[in-house]
Structure 1
Amino acid sequence: MLSRTAENIFWMARYIERAESTARLIQMGQRMTILPGPIHREEWRSVLRVTGCDALIEGGRSVSEADIVRLLLLDDTNPSSIRSCMMRARGNGRAVRTALTQDMWEALNDDWRRLESYDTARARRDLPELLDWVKTRASTFRGAAETGQLRNEGHDFLRIGGALERAEMTLRLLDVKYYVLLPETSVVGGGRDHYQWTSVLHALSAARAYLHVYGGGSYTPWRIADLLILNRQFPRSVAFCFGQIGWHLERLADAHGGNKPPHDTVAMVRSELRDRENGEIFEEGLHEFVQTALSVTNRLSREIAQAYHFN
């Protein structure tokens, strides 16, 4: 496969996953803002912060839902916004149109201009519907790939890109909790803390998985962190995503004559996650773990680009 084709497929998958994850992040922010608490709260700024967009709003004023809708949903100049991600995913897909099935292309192309007709006020009124639409478009694309795409190198790069972005956004969603509770350490373990942690589960469609793994007991922060990081069966966990990345990199290694630096990075991460005890990450410091893991995902993305000659 041409390196340019591989790059387009890899980033197409990342942008689709990023659009969906940003929609989930906004939904999580909404859940947290409706909880009772202090007048001056930072839930929306924490959402901006974990997407790397904190600098777009001056630090002296609070961040509103309108700001989030404008910057993370509609702004096509912000590479982290949903509209920008969907435009870029379609552009990548158009560049490799012959590598996609008809259903995959239709999932990318259908109604892709929908957000262009919205201003901030209207988007806020229709926000739940718009966020669900984004999630549905991403699910439709993945379903089309699952049922129709050849299991060739294109599929490997598609799955690697999607899994890498998903792992990164799971980590970022976990970090929202750190930024929200940091100024209010007195509420850790309280009722609002409990509902914020369950908001993380709902944002990742993990509430039912949590009940299956841990039974009908109470929700505890360390169990939630373990589920979303260490559980190798939950498809949005970091461990599961790196397992998928490793599997598809092995297929590429068979086709291209041996392991490359990204194979070693993935093996290192998987080994570290297997060695972790229950509750250990939370006890040692979730924020510190997340920041280290995010630096590894960034490095892995660069290593994949270098190993398979992107750009």
Structure 2
Amino acid sequence: MLSRTADHLFWMARYIERAENTARVLDVTHSTSLLPDDSAGAEANLWYAPLNISGCAADYTAKYGGLAESVSVTRFIALDPDNPASIYTSLMLARENARAVRGAITGEMWEIINATWLELNRMSPTLSGNRLTPFFDWVKERSHLFRGVTLGTILKDDALNFIRLGTFLERADNTARILDVKYHILLPSVQDVGGAADYYQWGALLRSVSALEAYRKIYRDVISPQRVAELLVLRADMPRSLHACLNEVDSTLEIINGSTGREARRCAGELHASLHFNLIENIFAEGLHEYLTDFLGRIDVLAKEIRSAYLARRDESVAPFPIRQMAQVQ
């Protein structure tokens, strides 16, 4: 497969997954904001979370000032075309990448992406009140529909492999950042740990990655930070866990197995093994924030090795956007 084609497929998948993940975070943040909380700065603290998860807090502050309010944050992250981390931008770039490789994807895949983009542009540019949840559900449903159509119509060849690489790299990055933000940013003080606010925040975290039912099925107990971290980091049977995502990335790179991809396979295998053989007690002894920060750095290195080995060469005079800043240099 041509590296340019692989590049477009990889980024198409990342942007579709990114749009869904962003909708998940905004949906849970909105639901949590409806709960009573009398603590000072509760709303601003809550709405800073999606800004930090998407890596666009600085851009938001430059445009709206320092106060994070529900209406402005939702507008900025959901539908702002000038925000490279918005749902709008992610779906636009997914369509642009899909259009560039129409011959490498099926007609059904293109129809889903194109129809999603056209429908998005027919929506109201403002979101508020009872229109928020239906919009977030729509984004998630369109992502699920695209994923199902892809698996049901595309050949099991390198095109699917690069789509899978983009999907699971993006998913691992998102899960790590959600967990890190919860642990490092959301709680304003240690007094909140174990309280009602803490319980709802951990529940919101699980809902944002569709893991609340899985948690109850596996642990059958009250929500505790260590078990949530174990579920989202080390459980290979949890679809959005770091371990599950690296399982897919590692196995997909083994299938591609190009002569230039040795370093990418080494990075993926090493990261996969560190998850497979680790214990949650060791992670907490090291510090969850420190562990996740290191993981995000290693995911970034892995993504760069994949780009170097398999994807299109980029203009070296143009500084590439970091993975966490969400924009792609074409």
**Structure 1 length-normalised TM:** 0.93
The offset of 1:101, in angstroms, is 1.3
Please name the residue that 1:224 is paired with: 228
The offset of 1:218, in angstroms, is 1.4
SS at match of 1:44: helix
Give, as a single letter, the amino acid of the residue that structure 2 aligns with 1:250.
Answer: E
The offset of 1:283, in angstroms, is 4.1
Within 2, Cα distance between the matches of 1:93 and 1:181?
A: 36
Q: Which range moves more in the overlay, 191-200 or 10-19?
A: 191-200
Matched, 1:47 2:63: no
Within 1, Cα distance between the matches of 2:87 and 2:186?
A: 26
Deviations 1:258-284 (A, max 9, x none): 752111111111111122213432343
Please name the residue that 1:14 is paired with: 14
The offset of 1:118, in angstroms, is 4.4
The offset of 1:107, in angstroms, is 1.3
The offset of 1:117, in angstroms, is 4.1
Matched, 1:115 2:120: yes
The offset of 1:142, in angstroms, is 0.4
Please name the residue that 1:75 is paired with: 80
The offset of 1:151, in angstroms, is 0.6
Within 1, Cα distance between the matches of 2:286 and 2:11?
A: 34
Q: How does 1:261-280 map to 2 (within 5 A)?
A: 261-280=263-282
Deviations 1:41-81 (A, max 9, x none): 21111220121111123386320111222211111121210
Instruction: Work out the percentage of aligned pairs sharing the same amino acid.
Output: 38
**Structure 2 length-normalised TM:** 0.88
Within 1, Cα distance between the matches of 2:143 and 2:210?
A: 14
Tell me: CA distance 1:30–1:281, structure 2 relative to 1, closer, same or farther (3 Å): farther
The offset of 1:174, in angstroms, is 0.9
Please name the residue that 1:212 is paired with: 217
Kindly indicate whether the alpha-carbon contact (under 8 Å) linking 1:43 and 1:180 is maintained by their aligned counterparts in 2: no
List 4+ stretches of structure 1 deviating above 6 A: none
Q: CA RMSD in A?
A: 1.8
The offset of 1:196, in angstroms, is 0.5
The offset of 1:103, in angstroms, is 1.6
Give, as a single letter, the amino acid of the residue that structure 1 aligns with 2:266.
Answer: D
Matched, 1:302 2:307: no
Kindly indicate whether the alpha-carbon contact (under 8 Å) linking 1:181 and 1:187 is maintained by their aligned counterparts in 2: no
Q: Which range moves more in the overlay, 116-125 or 77-86?
A: 116-125
Tell me: CA distance 1:198–1:112, structure 2 relative to 1, closer, same or farther (3 Å): same
Within 1, Cα distance between the matches of 2:180 and 2:118?
A: 32
Tell me: CA distance 1:241–1:122, structure 2 relative to 1, closer, same or farther (3 Å): closer
Deviations 1:169-204 (A, max 9, x none): 111111231244442211111121011101111111
Please name the residue that 1:195 is paired with: 200
Matched, 1:244 2:248: yes
Structure 2, unmatched stretches of 5+, are: 314-330
Please name the residue that 1:25 is paired with: 25
Structure 1, unmatched stretches of 5+, are: none
Kindly indicate whether the alpha-carbon contact (under 8 Å) linking 1:23 and 1:134 is maintained by their aligned counterparts in 2: yes
Aligned length: 308
Q: How does 1:59-98 map to 2 (within 5 A)?
A: 61-98=66-103
SS at match of 1:218: coil
Deviations 1:61-108 (A, max 9, x none): 320111222211111121210010000001100111111112211111
Within 2, Cα distance between the matches of 1:76 and 1:149?
A: 31
Please name the residue that 2:317 is paired with: none
Q: Which range moves more in the overlay, 204-213 or 119-128?
A: 119-128
Please name the residue that 1:257 is paired with: 259
The offset of 1:286, in angstroms, is 1.5
Tell me: CA distance 1:124–1:91, structure 2 relative to 1, closer, same or farther (3 Å): farther
**In the alignment, which of 166, 171, 178 is matched to residue 166 of structure 1?**
171
Q: Which range moves more in the overlay, 166-175 or 178-187?
A: 178-187
